[in-house]
Amino acid sequence: MKQLRPFIILTFVIITTIWPAQAQSDYEKAERYFADRGDSAQGLVARKRMINRAIKYYKRADQTPETVAALLRAYEFKGSFTRLSEKKKLETYKVAVDLGREYIHRYTSDVGVKYYYMTNLGRWGNTVGVMTAAQEGVSDEIKALAEEVIEMDDQFAESGAQRILGIMHLKLPQIPFVLSWPSEDEALRLLETAYSQSPQDPANARFFAEALIAHDQKDKAQEVLRMALKSEPRTSKLIEDRNNLDAIEKMLSQNI
């Protein structure tokens, strides 16, 4: 028995060391792959391997509001920050939009499902074109969703809904009988709020600066942009931050 004791102890150590990895849920695997989505990135573009694995395991996981929101978030990342043709981008966003449209009615009170459905719908609209999206009512739907998210949690996803709604007010044209609500004043209010609430996200600095420029506040815009460039891309949002900081550098180089 004494001779068997070291063997039993060793076996116990091996089992307890390996078991947590074996017991890892599909959702936990997906989260790990999503966290590593920027690994081996080529500049501003992520490789598809990690995000595809994240999507695979999110789809396998138990369908909860948290899982659905994470899956929609992963689809948006794949469509926006990996190397895809325009056709593949549209297909990726369309899959997410169809999924989100199904689940926002099932999880009506979940801010994550609502938000990431909205972001994919916005990406889809940008890809098909402003006029097509406006005529199909997409712009009005995104506006309504953004207002709902702001009401639920105005700082969710680093004030993302305020930023998105502000960008729409800033960039969408007024189209008679189709789109009458865009307002540069409302854009400035929303984007300033997003920036003041979540200055750590360079996307908020970038678009707040654009709103300032539209209001002839060039000096303040440059100050906001230079402040953003003092920060390094965050590990948690490496590709997203790289893209926004690159856009900020280009704005400054053009002597806005």
What residues form DSSP beta bridges with 82?
Answer: 46
Residue type, 153: D
Chain segment 211-241, per-residue pLDDT in tens = 999 999 999 999 999 999 999 999 999 999 9
- Residue corresponding to tokens 């994240």: 54
DSSP label at 173?
A: P
Least confident of 6-10, 42-46, 84-88, 247-251: 6-10
Q: What percent of the chain has pLDDT over 90?
A: 82
Question: Binning pLDDT at 50, 70 and 90, where does residue 130 land?
Answer: confident
pTM confidence score: 0.89
Contact call for residues 164 and 122 (beta carbons, < 8 A): yes
| Residue 232 C-alpha from the chain's centroid | 19
Task: Report pLDDT for 187.
Answer: 98
**Residue 21: predicted pLDDT:** 46
Mean pLDDT of 79-87: 97
Residue 184 pLDDT: 96
- Long-range contacts (CB closer than 8 Å, 24 or more residues apart) made by 176-185: 178/134, 178/135, 179/134, 179/139, 179/140, 181/143, 184/211, 184/214, 184/215
pLDDT tens, 132-189?
887 788 999 999 999 999 999 999 999 999 999 999 999 999 888 788 999 999 999 9
Q: Give the per-residue pLDDT at 175.
A: 85
The pLDDT of residue 16: 46
Residues β-bridged to residue 76 = none
Whether the per-residue pLDDT at 54 is higher than 70: the answer is yes
At residue 40, φ and ψ (nearest 5 deg) are: 60, 30
- Whether the predicted pLDDT of 1 surpasses 70: no
